[in-house]
């Protein structure tokens, strides 16, 4: 048993609220345990300079952790005058993994801006943001699809992410902060619904880990992601029917 009563392969409770804000084309509030993130997706009718005239779109992310999302106040990036390395890494990760499941040519010359704001952090903020952002992108693309009627529906697959790790020599799924901060091995995994890996970030924080450890962590993460994707499907309901179909309806 873990300190919060969960089994080694048990996720924290997940809660998803769609259409959480008024103006964004896609907006999701997501809770995973005590981690809470707001994900907004905005559609812009232009692309970065390097894509202009190529007939394809782009997806990019800005990630932010509010000052009292953590136990100790975090200074805002604007106050320090620069984005810290962790923030840059996470927002690049989110944009990168979301692009992997979207047909950017089918999207056309549009940019999907993902804004992920962590309002409370208790481990797994980047993986929670990826799951929330995926749902928000589906909502945003669907709004565009109903107006534009894409010849090929852009979202090709489901996507989710989760953390795994080794804490006190035990392999655990979905680490909270207390576990993550004491992990011997810390790993984040992003996968699609057909079992393909998009991103694997794994680090031996205190000591190296074996291939056997890696395989067991990957299996643990894959099972967790399957459960997260089922949550996505239940949240989206009928609005998920176009995913992977290229349907024009």
Q: Is 47 exposed, middle or buried (0-12, 13-18, 19+ CB in 10 A)?
A: buried
Pairing of strands 111-120, 58-65: parallel
126, 90 contact by CB (below 8 A): yes
Q: What is the CATH number of the domain that holds 111?
A: 3.30.230.70
Residue 9 domain-assigned? no
* Backbone region of residue 67 per phi and psi (left: phi > 0; alpha: psi in -120 to 50; beta: other values): alpha
Residue 247 domain-assigned? no
145-168 burial: b if 16+ Cβ within 10 Å, else e: beeeebeebbbbbbbbbbbbbbbe
Residue 143 domain-assigned? yes
14, 30 contact by CB (below 8 A): yes
Q: What's residue 3's pLDDT?
A: 79
55 contacts: CB under 8 Å, gap ≥ 6: 105, 108, 109
Residue 180 domain-assigned? yes
Q: What token pair was written down for 136?
A: 């928000």
Residue 61 domain-assigned? yes
Annotated binding site for phosphate: 86, 124-126
Number of H helices, E strands in the chain: 6, 9
Q: What are phi and psi of 126, to 5 degrees?
A: -70, -40
Q: What's residue 4's pLDDT?
A: 86
Mean pLDDT by 10 residues, the chain (249 residues): 90 97 97 98 94 94 94 86 88 97 95 98 97 98 90 96 96 96 95 96 90 96 98 95 74
30, 130 contact by CB (below 8 A): no
Annotated binding site: 86, 124-126
Residue 2 domain-assigned? no
Total structural domains within the chain: 1
Residue 114 domain-assigned? yes
Q: What's residue 203's pLDDT?
A: 92
Q: What's residue 82's pLDDT?
A: 82
Domain extent for 102: 14-236
Q: Count CB-CB contacts under 10 A for residue 172.
A: 24
Residue 4 domain-assigned? no
Whole-Å CA distances, 180 to 97, 118, 166, 186, 196: 22, 17, 9, 7, 25
Whole-Å CA distances, 113 to 47, 58, 176, 226: 11, 9, 28, 26
Helix, strand or coil, per DSSP, at residue 100: coil
């Amino acid at each position: 048993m873990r300190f919060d009563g969960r089994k080694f392969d048990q996720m924290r409770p997940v809660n998803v609220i769609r259409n959480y804000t008024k103006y964004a084309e896609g907006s999701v509030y997501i809770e995973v345990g005590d981690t809470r993130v707001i994900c907004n997706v905005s559609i812009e009718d232009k692309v970065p300079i390097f894509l202009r005239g190529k007939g394809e779109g782009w997806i990019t992310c800005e990630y932010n952790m509010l000052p009292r999302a953590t136990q100790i106040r975090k200074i805002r990036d604007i106050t320090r005058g620069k984005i810290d390395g962790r923030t840059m890494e996470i927002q690049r990760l989110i944009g990168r993994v979301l692009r992997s499941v979207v047909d950017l040519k089918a999207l056309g010359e549009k940019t999907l801006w993902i804004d992920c704001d962590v309002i409370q952090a208790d481990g797994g903020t980047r993986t929670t943001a990826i799951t929330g952002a995926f749902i928000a992108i589906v909502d945003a693309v669907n709004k565009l699809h109903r107006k534009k009627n894409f010849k090929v529906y852009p979202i090709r697959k489901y996507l989710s992410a989760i953390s795994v790790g080794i804490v006190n020599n035990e392999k655990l799924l979905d680490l909270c902060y207390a576990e993550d901060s004491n992990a011997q091995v810390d790993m984040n995994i992003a996968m699609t619904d057909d079992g393909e890996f998009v991103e694997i970030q794994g680090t031996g924080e205190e000591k190296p880990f074996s291939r056997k450890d890696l395989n067991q962590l990957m299996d643990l993460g894959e099972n967790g992601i399957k459960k997260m994707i089922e949550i996505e499907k239940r949240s989206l309901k009928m609005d998920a029917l176009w995913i992977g179909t290229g349907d024009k309806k």
